[in-house]
């Protein structure tokens, strides 16, 4: 499951960007540029995992609505996690550069839950 390893690598890179470059101080990051970069990186990792699950091999992404519809057919809880990840990592962090450490941590936590869910789902299929 190479895509799972890749997704975890993206998530690890996002954490490293926040910890090493965004400069945390008093519950907020000081550098919006690196918060945006970390949010984009972590969200991309989630999409890498989901693309592997759905068998998407070509470059380019489906729309967020497509992912929401497909996840809604499979698991409503994961759909909820995905919506949180989309809002937190993609919109709040990657676009808006939200400097809150709490927001970033929650987004990363939800991303990890989705990646782990994909990994377990694929282990069940392969066994």
The pTM of the full predicted model, rounded to 2 decimals, is 0.94
* CA-based torsion, 26, 28, 31, 34: positive or negative: positive
Domains observed in the chain: 2-126 (1.20.120.330)
User: What is the helix (H) or strand (E) element at residue 115, kind and residue range?
Assistant: helix 101-126
Dump strand ranges (E) for 22-90: 24-25, 28-29
Q: Tell me: the pLDDT tens digits for 62-82?
A: 899 999 999 999 999 999 999
* Tens-place pLDDT, residues 112-127: 999 999 999 988 877 6
32-54 helix and 101-126 helix, angle to the nearest 10 degrees:
20
pLDDT tens digits for range 31-65: 999 999 999 999 999 999 999 999 987 777 789 99
């Amino acid at each position: 499951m190479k895509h799972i390893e890749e997704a975890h690598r993206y998530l690890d890179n996002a954490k490293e960007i926040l910890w090493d470059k965004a400069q945390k101080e008093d519950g907020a990051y000081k550098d919006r540029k690196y918060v945006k970069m970390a949010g984009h990186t972590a969200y991309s990792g989630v999409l890498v995992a989901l693309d592997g699950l759905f068998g998407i091999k070509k470059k380019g992404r489906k729309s967020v609505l497509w992912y929401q519809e497909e996840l809604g057919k499979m698991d409503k809880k994961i759909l909820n996690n995905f919506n949180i990840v989309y809002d937190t990592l993609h919109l709040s962090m990657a676009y808006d550069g939200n400097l809150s450490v709490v927001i970033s941590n929650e987004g990363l936590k939800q991303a990890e839950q989705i990646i782990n869910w994909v990994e377990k789902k694929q282990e069940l299929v392969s066994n």
